[in-house]
Amino acid sequence: MKTADIRRTFLDFFVRNGHELVPSSSLVYPDPTLLFVPAGMVPFKPYFTGEEKPLWDRATSAQKCVRTLDIDEVGKTTRHGTFFQMLGNFSFGDYFKADAIRYAFELITTPQGAGGLGFDPDQLWVTVLGPGHHPDYPDGDVKARKLWRKVGIPDERIQGRGLADNFWQMGVPGPGGPSSEIYIDRGPAYGPDGGPIVDEDRFLEIWNLVFMSEELSAVRSKSDFDIAHPLPSKNIDTGMGLERTAYLLQGVDNMYEIDEIFPVIERAAQLAGKTYGADREDDVRLRVVGDHVRSSLMLLTDGVRPGNEARGYVLRRLLRRSVRAMRLLGVDTAVLPELLPVSKDLMAQSWPEVEANWDGTSTAAYAEEGAFARTLTAGTQIFTGAAARTRAAGGDTLSGESAFQLHDTYGFPVDLTLEMAAEQGLKVDTEAFASLMAEQRDRAKADARARKGLATSTEAYRQLRADGETRFTGFTELGEETRIRGLIRDGAVVPAATAGEVVEVVLEETPFYAEAGGQDSDSGTIRADGADLTVLDVQRPVPGLIVHKVRLEAGELHPGQRVTAQVDADNRRGACMAHTSTHIIHAALREALGPTAVQAGSYNRPGYLRFDFRSNQPLSKDLRDQIEGRSAEAIGDDLPVSATEMSLDEAKALGAMAMFGEKYGERVRMVELGGAWSRELCGGTHVADTSQIGLLTLTGESSVGSGVRRVEALVGRDAFDRLAAERSLVLGLADTLRVQPDQLADRVSRMVTQLREAEKEIAALRAERARAAIGDHLAGAKDLGGVAFVGVRADAAGNDLRTLAQEVRDRLGERPGVVALIGGPDDKPGIVVAVNGPARDRGLNAGELVRVGASELGGKGGGKPDLAQGGGTDGSRADQALGAVERAVSGG
C-alpha cells in the first residue's frame, strides 16, 4: 500500500464517518513558541484550550510536521525523521472514548479492499494508563481497558503504563487526559516477546489516542501534575504516524525505505556508485540524504529560505548535511539537481503545492548548494589539517582559533565544525571560539569608526577618557557653555588646530547626541572667541567619551578654550520625530505579527526611518495598511512619551523590550509611549508626545537577509511632501487617461489585462511559427553514428521551447534521436535537450547532455534522462553550446 494511498484511506474513512476534512497547515505556523509545526494537533490547539470556538464537532487531517531535536539520530535508527506526516481524527465535545477506540480498531483491521488498512487483529497490542500512577486515577484508565476488550483485544495484549507514556498534557496548566497507544507486533525477528513494555522495536507504536477530559491546575513534569476538575466537554485528539504505518504495510525495515523516500536513496546510491545495504556507514549517509532532501523540499515549499537564524538555519543545516553526506560518499559534483526533483515527483502526489512552488524551491536549494560547495572545498582542507595537528600533538580538543578561522574565513557554521570533530573523536574549545567572536564584534565597531573618519586606534580616546566621562546634557538642553578637553588629529592628541583643518574635539560636556541606537548624530556649531566650527559627526569611540568631528572654518583651537556648543534645533526635532516613530512601528508590528517580530536593527534621521525586524514572510498589502493605520492612531491619540532611569531588572519586570545583542549596564533608560503600549530600553532622543510627529507614511517593505524584513517610512514634513507628490502623480495620470482619480486603478488594470492578452497572442504566433519550422529542423538533422541529431537556435523560450523540443523528438520516429534547442534572449538563454527511447538505449541521457550545453552558456542544467533543461547568461555562445552537445552525442 503506497504512502499516498494510506493517507487517502485514513482521511476517507473519517470523512465517511462524519468528520470535516481540514487541510494541513503550513509548516511555518503563526505561533511564536514554535519554529515549525511539531504535531498534528497544533492547528487545533486553540479549540482544545478554549481560546477559540471549534468550527466543527469532528474533524480529520493529514498534517505536515517537522522535528529536529533528534537530527543527529537520523539514519541511525528505524524511525527518526525530520519531516513526517501525522494523520489524526478530532472530536470537540462530540464523541469520546468508546467511538475513538471503535473507529481506530475498525480502520486498522478492516481489509484494504473494504476501505481499511488491513492489519491482522492478532498483531495489535495497546497500552493504557495503568493503576497507581495518579490519585485521580487510582485504578488507571479502567474504561479504556474495557472498551479495548469489547472490540476484540484480549486482556493479555492490553498493557498498563505510567503517566509519562499514557497521560497527555501540554506541559502547562490546561487540558489533559489519559491516552491509549496502539502497537503492531512485527514478529520475533525484531526482538523479544512481551509487548511494548518489553521491546518497542518489535512492538512499534503507530497511533496514539488522547482522551482529553481533565483541566490541569499545575504541571511540574510529565508525571507530576495536579488535576483541578473535569473539562466541561470531553475531546478526542489522535495522531497516527503515516511513515511508520507505511513501512509496516510496505514490508520494509525502516521509514527510509518507504516509497516516498527510498527512490531518493536509490538515486543517491547511483550517483555515488554504492549499493544500499552493502555497508552500514554508507547506508546511514544515504538515509540522511533521503530524509533531509525530503524535509528540505517541504520546508522550501512552505516558504522557508536558508539563513543563519531560526527556521532558515534549520533548513540550511538540512541542505548542507545532505550535500556533505554525498561528499562523504564520494560525490563532489552538485547533487540537489539530481535528488530534489525525485523527491518533488514523489511528494507532489499528496501535496500539490510542491509542484506549484517548484521554481522558487529549486532555485533556493541549488543556490545554497553552490554556496556550500565553495565553503566545503576550502574549509574541509583547513579542518583536516587542524584536526591532524591536534592529534599529532596528543590533544583531543580542536582549538577555538581553528574553529573561528573556519567560521570567519571560510563560512563554516560552528555546528558543522562540532559535527566533523565528533566524527574524528575530537572536541572543540567552544569557550575560546565565543571569545574570538566577541573580539570580532569589537573590531567591527572599530571599522565602523574608521568609516566615519575616526581613528582606528583607541589610545588617544582612552587618554582623554582618563580625565572623566563626557556629560551629555542634550536630553534637556540644545546649547551648552563648556570647555575643550582635548583635540585629536590622525589618531593622536594634538596641542592646537588651525583654520581649514578637520579634527576631533572632546568637550567637558555636550548637548550633541552621538550616533547610537539607530539614531543619527546631531549637527550644529561650536563657537569660541575668534573660532567657528561646523559639527560634521558625533560618535562614542570608547564608552563614556563623546567625540565631535568638526571642520574649523576660522580661527584657532586649543585645549582649555571656552566654547559654546549649539545643536541645530530643526535637525534635532526631526530626529526625535523619526526615533519615536520607530518605537511606534515596532509596537504596531508586534500587535500585527506577534512577539516574534522583534527588532533586528534600525536607523533614523530627520524625516526618515528604517526598521528591521525578524520575519520569514513579506508583509502583505493588508498588513502594511494595518501597521500604517495603527501608527496613525498612535500619533493621533497624542500618547505621552516619557523616559525613566531604573535598574535593568526593574525594566525587565515591566516588560521593556531590549535590542538583541546589545549590552546594558545595571542602570538603564526605559522609554514609554502611552504607558505599557510601548516600553523599550533606549538612549535616544524623543518627542514629548506622539502628536508632535504629525504624519507617518510607509514607503517600502523588503528583505534585507534571511529571516529579516525591513520597513521604511517618512515622517513629518517629509511624509507630507511624499503624499503631495503621489497625489500630483495620481491627478496627472488621471488627466492623461481621462478618468476620475477613483477610477484610475480600474483603468490601469484594464490596460494591463489588454497588454497581457496582446503578449499571449504574440507568444502564440511565435509558437506557431516555431512549430512551422519543425520540418526544416528535421530536414537538417545530422546522422551521428546512427543517431539523428537536431541542434538549432529556435525562435521560442520557456515552456514553448520545451514543448517544441518534445514535438521534434516525437517526429523523429523510431530511429535513435537527440534534440537540442536553445532559445530566449542573449542575456538569459534557455536550453532544452530531448532524447527518445532508442537513443536512451544507446546510453544517451538528456540530463547529462543539457549540463554540457548549459555550461557553454555560462549556466547549469539538469533533468530526467528523456527531457532536461537549463539556462545560462551568454546566448552569444549558442553555436558553441550546440557544438558541445553534438560532440557529446558523437562520443556517446
DSSP lists the bridge partners of residue 702 as: 710
Q: Are the beta carbons of 429 and 398 closer than 8 angstroms? A: yes
Q: How far is CA 857 from the centre of its chain?
A: 32
682 has binding-site annotation: yes
Alpha-carbon span 225 to 222, nearest angstrom: 7
Cα distance between residue 303 and residue 709, in whole Å: 14
Answer whether 881's CB lies under 8 Å from 854's CB. yes
Sign of CA dihedral 571, 573, 576, 582: negative
* Phi, psi for 103 (deg, rounded to 5): -60, -45
Name the grid cell of 211. 482522551
CA distance linking residue 616 with residue 628, whole number of Å: 20
65 annotated among ligand-binding-site residues:
no
The per-residue DSSP string of 246-267 comes to HHHHTT-SSGGGSTTTHHHHHH
DSSP H/E element including 129: strand 124-129
Residue where the block lists cell 554525498: 326
Chain centroid, CA 220 distance in Å:
33
E strand or H helix that includes residue 180: strand 174-185
What is the three-class DSSP state of 483?
strand
Q: What angle do CA 725, 727, 733 make, to 5 degrees?
A: 105
Cα separation, 314 vs 309, whole angstroms:
8
| Residue 241: strand pairing partners | 86
Q: Which residues, at least 6 apart from 348, have a Cβ–Cβ distance to it below 8 Å?
A: 354, 355
**Are 89 and 103 within 8 A, CB to CB?**
yes
Within a 10 A sphere around the Cβ of 241, how many other Cβ atoms? 22
The set of residues, in sequence order, having a beta carbon less than 8 Å from that of 711 and lying 6+ positions away, is 585, 589, 610, 611, 613, 619, 624, 627, 698, 700, 701
C-alpha cell belonging to residue 391: 592529534
Q: Which three cell numbers stand for residue 13?
A: 474513512
Cα 722 to the chain's mean position, in Å?
Answer: 34
Q: How far apart are CA 398 and CA 45, in angstroms?
A: 45
Place of cell 493479555: 156
| CA gap 749, 642 in Å, rounded | 47
Cα torsion at 327, 330, 335, 341 (round to 10°)?
A: -120
Rounded to the nearest 5°, which phi and psi values hold at 441? -65, -40
User: Are the CB atoms for 609 and 599 separated by under 8 Å?
Assistant: no
Q: Is 586 annotated as a binding residue?
A: no
Name residue, grid cell 555515488: 272
8 A C-beta contact, residue 637 and residue 323: no
CB 126 within 8 A of CB 88: no
- Terminal Cα distance for the chain, rounded: 40
- Number of other CB atoms surrounding residue 768 within 10 Å: 9
133 labelled ligand-binding: no
Q: Taken in order 97, 98, 101, 103, is the CA torsion positive or negative?
A: negative
Which residues on neighbouring strands pair with residue 84, listed in sequence order?
A: 65
| Whether 291 contacts 268, CB under 8 Å | no
Residue ranges for the binding site for Zn(2+)?
A: 579, 583, 682, 686
Residue ranges for the binding site?
A: 579, 583, 682, 686
